[in-house]
Amino acid sequence: MLLSLRSGIDTEIGWALDRLCRLCDNEQFVLKAIPGLIDALFEWPEWYAREGYKERSEASLIFSPDPRRERQRRHALESLFILRNAALNDPNAQELGSHPRTRPLILAILHNLEFDIEENVELLLHTCEILQAIASTVILRSSAHANNLLTPLHNISHQSSNRSLIIASLTALTLIFSNPPNTVHLTESSQAVQASIRFLPLFVDKPLIEACLNYLYVHLSHPAMAKAFLLQPEMPSTLKLLVSLLISEQIEETVMIDVGGPVYTAPALTGATTRDHELTKDELDTLLEQGEPQRCYDWYACFVVAYVSCNVTFNYLPG
């Protein structure tokens, strides 16, 4: 594969890159195991970052691009894709982080390729992800060095309309500033902070919101940046958005609350006896001789006296 990459023959280079694209997605793929492979993979992306992007003409926007140039661009894209996948493995990330050609390539791509051109998006995305992998080894020792690397990332996060690029650039900035020596290069008027605040209302886009929150956390963890943020006019609205985000992520629980009082049931009647009263012969003879309505009155009085005199048990309910 290495000899094919060095051959200069398009078909051989395409075969080697195609095979490496399948092999690099494996933890057992170690760049150091093939001496010279990293240098061979850097050649096509370096060519595109220096010269290849300039060959984009107005005619290529309307007509089919030049097949030769398209093959070379594909070689650059596949080489960068292999380096990106390999960098997900820690040994490869350390190898790339210490390689002298890694950072110049990253800077060349970030500065030379316009992020609002569709054909550059994938190259920029792979570059940002390689930068994320080696961010722990990046130390910004001077302001000029810091601006050279951070400025294009800030511009992408603030001005790009491509969601994937915004997430990749914010994540790269977060990992770079997670390294304590780099926090001295934080600025109050950071474009990444403005972009993070602007995207906060998009609650449904979890990956984008997570990237924004992670960067805000790293930025505001610095005492000077936190103090400066408290004095900014957008601070109250930002806090409201954060509270709204917390409320939206709360898990709703269904709680049953019994609002009724204690239930009282009437006890069953036990031991109660009811006996039918039968009139005696004297009572019946007396009533039959009387006329109405006197007979009704006497009949009722006789009934009441008979009922009270009976052995009847009364149950009283509360109230």
Domain presence at residue 291: yes
Q: What's the confidence (pLDDT) of residue 319?
A: 42
Give the pLDDT band (50/70/90) at residue 276. Answer: low
Nearest to 49 by CA among 77, 68, 16, 71: 77
Q: How many domains does the chain have?
A: 2
Pick from 112, 114, 42, 117: nearest CA to 84: 42
Residue 146 Cα distances to 95, 174, 187, angstroms? 22, 14, 11
- Lowest pLDDT segment from 82-86, 135-139, 243-247, 292-296: 292-296
The Cα 69–Cα 59 span in angstroms is 13
In-domain check, residue 247: no
* pLDDT band at residue 45 using 50, 70 and 90 as cut-offs: very high
pLDDT above 80 (res 289): no
Please give the pLDDT value at position 188: 86
195 domain-assigned: no
Contact 167, 196 (CB under 8 A): no
Q: Choose one of 137, 154, 181: the last residue of a domain.
A: 137
Q: Poorest-confidence range of 51-55, 60-64, 87-91, 160-164?
A: 60-64
At residue 310 the predicted structure's pLDDT band, cuts being 50, 70 and 90, is: low
CA nearest to 200, candidates 242, 163, 234: 242
* Residue 237 within a domain: no
Q: 101 or 308: which carries more pLDDT confidence?
A: 101
- Region of poorest pLDDT, from 171-180, 229-238, 267-276, 277-286: 267-276
User: Is residue 273 predicted with pLDDT exceeding 70?
Assistant: no
> Which of 94, 109, 137 finishes a domain?
137
Boundary of a domain, candidates 137, 159, 186: 137
pLDDT at 143 over 70: yes
Q: Residue 75 is part of which domain span?
A: 1-56+66-137
In a domain, 295, yes or no: yes
Q: Is residue 29 part of a domain?
A: yes
Q: Does pLDDT of 31 surpass 80?
A: yes
Q: Which of 62, 71, 98, 69 is nearest to 17 (CA)?
A: 71
- Span 88-110, mean pLDDT? 93
Share the mean pLDDT of the chain.
Answer: 85
Flag whether 100 is in a domain. yes
Instruction: Tell whether 293 is covered by a domain.
Output: yes
- How much of the chain, in percent, has pLDDT values that exceed 90? 51
What average pLDDT does this structure show over 298-312? 61
Tens of pLDDT, residue by residue over 145-194, are: 888 999 999 999 999 999 999 999 999 999 999 999 999 999 988 899 99
Q: Give the pLDDT mean for 306-316.
A: 50
